[in-house]
A and B are shown apart, each in its own frame.
Chain A
Amino acid sequence: MHDNVRARLAKDTIFKGIVCLFAFVSLLPLFLILYYITRNGIAVINWEFLTSLPRPTGETGGGVFNAIVGTLVLIVLSGALSIPCGIAAGVYLAEHQAGKLGNAIRLSVVVLQGTPSIVIGIIAYLWIVGPLKTFSAFSGGIALAVMMLPVIVKTTEETLKLVPYHLKEASLALGVPYYRTMLKVVLPSGMSGILTGILLSVARITGETAPLLFTAFGNQFMNVNIFKPIDSLPYRIFYYAMSPYPEWHSFAWGASFILVVLTLSLNLVARGISAKWKIQY
């Protein structure tokens, strides 16, 4: 009897040990990745790298300024395309818990969110690049907007569901029309959550490469015309990583460092907003 208890307790301890071990071993890749990015990235980052354009094959030096600008252009473009529609649809879902349209939208959001980014790239190609006959920042923005949309809809819905009904009642009882109640009372009350969702979706699309392969493409020159191909950090990393030149490999690390800093700070800001601006009801 005693031995049995001891065996059971031993098993218990061993299992717990295994859980802890596996949990922390799975962080090993993270540290290795961060270590590689930091070590290899910082080595190439300097003022020139940040502010100059890529040089042609054979010349040394150069930087990723166009890719940084391109990434920002793509973020602004996709945000402008997806945020209004995403918030509006999210408000609709929060206001219509049941109903056919609501369920159809919810299902579409789930499917869109799970759609592989490469498929969305093809769609943007077929819809925009084909008819316009050129790769363009615009088509890339469309592809990224399609990726942002479900995230924004979902976070808006989730956030607004938490806004207490009695706030809406308070406003309606003051004779405030429904649309003003939604815009001036309900939406502002959920603003921090919605903003967090937007930032997280931006962080998600900032690193996307697959949807840009046949849309924004890439551009070794500076471009801010949205109807021309545009460079981006993830595309530049891919391009440099697959090249045979060691210097370009190191540039890929440099660009990765910038990209990771960008996405991580977006994540941090998003978390900060949801913690600091949390509204007490």
Chain B
Amino acid sequence: MTRSTPNIDRSERTFTVVLAISGGFIVLLLIGIMVTLFFNSLPAIREFGAGFFIGKTWNAAAETFGALPFLVGTLVTSFLALLISVPFSLAIALFLGEYYREGAVSGFLRSAVEVLAGIPSVIYGLWGLFLLMPAVRYIEMKLGVAPQGVGILTSSLILAIMIIPFAASIGREVITFVPGDLKEAAYSLGATRFEVVRNIVVPYARSGIIAGILLSLGRAIGETMAVTMLIGNSNFLPTSIFSPANTMASVIANEFAEATGVTSASLIYLALVLFFVTMLVNIAGTWVIQKLTVESSREVT
């Protein structure tokens, strides 16, 4: 005879149900966000369909909406920002994860990076307006381009500064995962530290570093305030890195409050696209990092 063991008492069940409801609420919240975005952008989806992504004109008066300028604006600013930030974030990651793991200097650098990460976006924007914008304008004058100061380059610079701490902290983490015995094996063969970094550390941490870059790309794509303040808010396709432009996030920030009807639906359509792009980027990045964490913890034990 096997005795059925009621292995949980009633209070446990009630309590667990309450917890599960709270957790389930988060899932519902996310589904709610997707459904809301989808249904509210339906008028624009019906009207423009996939042509939305190749249309070059965004004109509220004519009710013609094409998102290409913003897609280009978003991609160019984000990738440019990545390009600028990668050497710096990689350097910080190597400094903290490989060269100086302990000590006052690395403690200072780490705190400083944390402070940098904690500064609100709107303050980056403000600072950009008063320091970066004049600087870029100066460069533009030297180069003989229309000296507007705001535009893709200015936004990319501020984005680069903003994502450095983020990418650096992920990079540091994955670099510390590199097993010590691998490095020791290389040292015992007479390798210099640079050779160890180049041939052991970076290849080993490569997928994690890429994931970190991916996650910071997600950040850059969704970043709103600083970009809105510095990109010049032009709804035309940018022609050079000095052109004023708009990203998906910045055009929403600029126009949504006053938008109605199909304009509003088109902006929500943009938000839907933004949501899915960042979602994919984040899931991919997080997945790689999780896999890496699991693997490295397995190696320790």
Q: Note whether A and B contact each other (Cβ less than 8 A).
A: yes
Query: Which residues of A come within 8 Å of B, CB atoms?
Result: 8-9, 11-12, 15-16, 18-27, 29-30, 32-34, 36-37, 84-86, 88-89, 91-93, 95, 101-102, 104-105, 107-123, 125-127, 146, 149-150, 153, 177-180, 182, 203-204, 206-210, 213-214, 217, 234, 237-238, 241-242, 249, 252-253, 256, 259-260, 263-264, 267
| B54 CB-CB contact with A under 8 Å | no
CB distance from A11 to the nearest CB of B (A): 6
CA distance A22 to B92 in the complex (A): 7
Q: Interface stretch among B55-63, B136-144, B204-212, B280-288?
A: B280-288
Segment of B42-50, B65-73, B122-130, B238-246 engaged in the interface with chain A? B122-130
Contacts A23-B95, A252-B126, A259-B120 given: A119-B275 contact, CB under 8 Å? yes
Query: Does chain A have a CB within 8 A of B145?
Result: no
Cross-chain contact A207 with B109 (CB below 8 angstroms):
no
Residues of the B chain whose Cβ atoms lie less than 8 Å from the Cβ of A16: 99, 193-194
B279 interface neighbour in A115, A182, A238, A264, Cβ under 8 Å: A115
Query: When the two chains form their complex, are residues B121 and A209 in contact, meaning their CB atoms are under 8 A apart?
Result: yes
B88 in contact with A238 (CB, 8 Å): no
- Which residue on chain A has the smallest CB distance to residue B198? A15
Contact partner of B15 (CB less than 8 A), chosen from A109, A146, A182, A267, is A182
Which label, helix, strand, loop or mixed, suits the secondary structure of the B interface? Answer: helix
**Taking the nearest CB of chain B, how far is it from the CB of A82, in angstroms?**
10
Contact partners of B131 in chain A: CB under 8 A: 32, 36
Instruction: For A33, list chain B residues within 8 Å (CB).
Output: 119, 123-124, 127
| B87 closest partner in A (C-beta) | A22
Which of A32, A34, A110, A119 has most B Cβ within 10 Å?
A119
B115's contact among A9, A30, A115, A118, by CB below 8 Å, is which? Answer: A30
Contact of B197 among A15, A92, A109, A110 (CB under 8 A): A15
Determine the residue in chain B with the shortest Cβ distance to A210.
B224
A104 to chain B, nearest CB (A): 5
Check A209–B218 contact: CB distance below 8 A: no
Q: How far is the CA of A105 from the CA of B257 in the complex (A)?
A: 32
Chain A contacts of B87 at CB under 8 A? 22
Choice from B18, B120, B121, B278 contacting A115 with Cβ under 8 Å: B278
| 15 more CB-based (< 8 A) A-B contacts, given A84-B22, A105-B23, A207-B119 | A12-B195, A22-B90, A33-B127, A89-B19, A95-B16, A108-B30, A109-B26, A115-B222, A118-B271, A122-B256, A123-B32, A123-B36, A259-B120, A260-B119, A267-B115
Q: Are A112 and B26 CB-contacts (below 8 A) given A15-B197, A22-B87, A237-B123? A: yes
Contacting A at CB under 8 A, from B60-117, are 87-92, 94-96, 99, 109, 112-116
Chain B's nearest CB lies how many Å from the CB of A269?
13
Cβ of A111: which chain B residues have Cβ within 8 Å of it? 30, 279, 282-283
Closest B residue to A84 using CB positions: B22
Task: Specify which chain A residues have a CB less than 8 angstroms from the CB of B194 in the assembled complex.
Answer: 8, 11-12, 15-16
Q: Which residue of A lies closest to B13 (CB)?
A: A178
Among B9, B36, B89, B286, max chain A CB count under 10 A is at B286
User: Is B185 located at the chain interface by the 8 A CB criterion?
Assistant: no
Contact of A259 with B123 at beta-carbon distance under 8 Å, contacts A16-B193, A20-B95, A122-B271 already known = yes
Question: What's the Cα separation between A11 and B32 when bound, in Å?
Answer: 55
User: How many contacting A-B pairs (Cβ < 8 A)?
Assistant: 253
Given contacts A22-B88, A115-B33, A122-B37, contact A242 B229 (CB under 8 A): yes
CB distance from A186 to the nearest CB of B (A): 12
B residues in contact with A209, CB < 8 Å: 120-122, 224-225
Q: How far is the CA of A26 from the CA of B171 in the complex (A)?
A: 15
**Which chain A positions have C-beta within 8 A of B274?**
116, 118-119
**Chain B residues whose CB sits within 8 angstroms of the CB of A92 once the complex forms:** 16, 19-20, 22-23
Contact indicator A178/B283 (Cβ below 8 Å): no
Q: Is B213 an interface residue (CB 8 A)?
A: no
Q: How far is the CB of B245 from chain A (nearest CB, A)?
A: 16
In angstroms, Cα B30 to Cα A243, docked, is: 36
Q: With both chains docked as a complex, state the minimum distance between the C-beta of B274 and any C-beta of chain A, in angstroms.
A: 6
B124 near A213 (CB under 8 angstroms)?
no
Q: List the B side residues contacting A234 at CB < 8 Å.
A: 120, 122, 225
**Assembly CA distance A209 to B224 (angstroms):** 9
Q: Is the CB of A153 within 8 A of B120?
A: no
Would B24 and A117 count as touching, CB distance under 8 A? no
Q: List 30 A-B contacts (CB under 8 A).
A: A15-B194, A26-B168, A30-B115, A88-B23, A92-B16, A107-B283, A108-B26, A108-B27, A110-B283, A115-B279, A120-B33, A122-B267, A122-B271, A125-B256, A149-B26, A150-B26, A178-B8, A178-B15, A179-B11, A179-B14, A210-B249, A213-B256, A238-B122, A241-B122, A241-B125, A256-B126, A259-B120, A260-B123, A263-B120, A264-B118
